[in-house]
Structure 1
Amino acid sequence: MARLFNPIQVGAYTLSHRVVLAPMTRLRTIQPDDIPSPMMADFYGQRASAGGLEIVEAASVSVQARSYLGAASIYHDGQMEGWRAIAKAVHAKGGRVFLQLIHGGRQSHVEMTGGVDPVAPSVVPFDGVALTKDGFVPASPHRALGIEEIPAIVEDFRAAAQRAKEAGFDGVELHAANGYLVDQFIQDGTNQRTDAYGGPIENRVRFLRETLEALISVWGADRVGVRISPSGEWGGISDSDPEATFSYVARLLDSYEIAYLHVIEPRVKGDDTLHHDHPPVATKYLRKHFSGPIIAAGGFDRASAIATVESGDADLVAFGRHFSSNPDLPYRLQHDLPLTPYVRTAFWGGTEADYSDFLTHEETQALESTEENATADEAQNA
């Protein structure tokens, strides 16, 4: 059997297989307070499997951290019941579930941040977008964080991690990818500070270290993962030497002995594949710098997922788009069964339609059998 379907130890947990549900912002919370909805619990429960790992979509750690109307948040008591329902639904199927934590930084709008300007390490022009009641709109002008403001944001991450623990999750993932705030500090295209948080890479990763240590203070290192996106393009992010930068990041994270390193391949930008024929490159050069489990994400199918795990470049593979329309994706991949096509128009908000109403392979077979029997009966009675 391919290693993709074999057990593996990831931090504190033994997983039965290596097919991971990637975090996907789906904009299905109840408004106006970003309350996780019952259909979200249905969605995650449907995709859970015994010994499988799910990473739940990015949850903002404060009002200031929000970027998209309808996206998840975890900063007030009114959200907790919904989060508990999601964790319970995954555990009911024997799965493990981590919650991804995020601060959007400059990728936001004053309508989402409570009327205050979005923040970033430095003021660097970019043409990003945020999602408000008027749809996707240009991000509001951002301002540079004062050094005295940073500890409060670190505390927001710690408090969110504590809430995730109280909600029954198995761990948390720090979102340090896709051009959001942690990533903005790491990469020199967005971090032009001259204080202790800017300049050489040792300073640019200081915010990463502090937020990571805040999460570890709640969970322990073996229940915390980190997601990065070397050479990613989402959010207008850039670095003058991404391989050197993220090799350093990988070595830093390795020193903490975290549960896993989650790497987005640069061939993917958001929910689009930019370079369909490009092989995985980020996990390949990071492997020698990180000794723990690596989760690869971005543009994988069954064959490439099996290949990257067999090569040793990654230990697990996270799927987003294919998992969105195939609640039993690990089973389908293991048995090489056809996949239900995903519905891109339902990615960014909507109802249960094309979200939590997809059938498993078994349910599809049963439905087809019932329809065939009904057709046969009609023919016989004609």
Structure 2
Amino acid sequence: MRLVYTHRLKSDMVLARPLVSEEGTLLLAEGVPLGESLIHRLVEVGVPFVYVRDDRFPTDRVQPLVSPQSLRRVTADLRGVLVQAAQDHASSSLTLSLEVLGSQVEELICEVLSQPDLVVHLLDLKSCQSYEVQHGVQTLVLAALCAHRLGLPREEIRILGLGALLHDLGKVFLSPGLMSKVEPLSEEEWKEIRRHPEMGAGLMEEHRDLWPLASEAALSHHERLDGSGYPDGKREEQVSATARIVAVADVYDALTSPRPYRPVPFSPLKALRHLQLGAGRLYDPRVVEAFSSLICPFPVGTWLRLSTGHVGLVTEIHPEAPDRPVLSVVRLEGKGPLPQPLRVDLAAHRDASVRAILEDEDSVVLHRLEDEVPDPFDPPR
């Protein structure tokens, strides 16, 4: 199994992992041949990459953090809340939906934190579903894992998780099409977007008995330590612990997701570098450090070029050292393919280091480790 970006897919490739819709409906099953029409459709709908079969790398060692059943339930409930909030945020049916969503969140957090290896891989939760729903669930899981790594008690993690899931609730009140606009936003459009934290927090305050303190995540997830954030320009200790954690999870997921204005998402490594550059100025350095320890910068199925010149595919991840994966090396750059794949464990070979992330084994570079990372002061929408 290996990861292939959709614009590099070929018609003789076979899908190694299924693609599902927002409702949990199977769109493409494992084992489906990827003909030209399917490849064109994947590119058209914005799927950035898929896993394909490769007999040289037969084993899928990645276990999902969340079961498909749990993911399906919470995404369906979140979608219902977003629709009801946009239609009538004071209705009793919305209150009932929030109660159901709250119980689903609690179950999902318990499931995630019970996993033995709390390392986040590239495609743990991402699928063919609307960005708003996917982003909410992914931010919930990332924030809960980070809070757990920081040692927060389970009840605080539950409350934080609820706020993380609905941190962008206020976006249901924005002008249609604003978040999917490809062109640069005008100043008036940015002003409208910067209102969504207050609108989301205001709606959650109406249901405060269900969401004690969770509205803080919606209100302050765009605040930054240096006062450059919004809506209130809070600084340092004015930014709550909840908001600091959700902010990091929110930015990471936004950067690693394809958007209309940025079709090619950041690699996990590039997104982590972005956060690390902003640590201490924009983001809480303790939160960034804890978060970074959870993220696998080189997910299974990723091609890497090493300092030794070897090119190989990541086949295993060490949970205790996710930045030192196991590779199946297939070629030495400049000297052609090896007679057979060579297993190289970077945790045991400290003299070798990763120099570049590649799109494919032909050494098309996706990201060099020495490449400049975009300024963290230029935030995603």
Indicate whether the TM-score tops 0.5: no
TM-score (norm. length: structure 2):
0.31
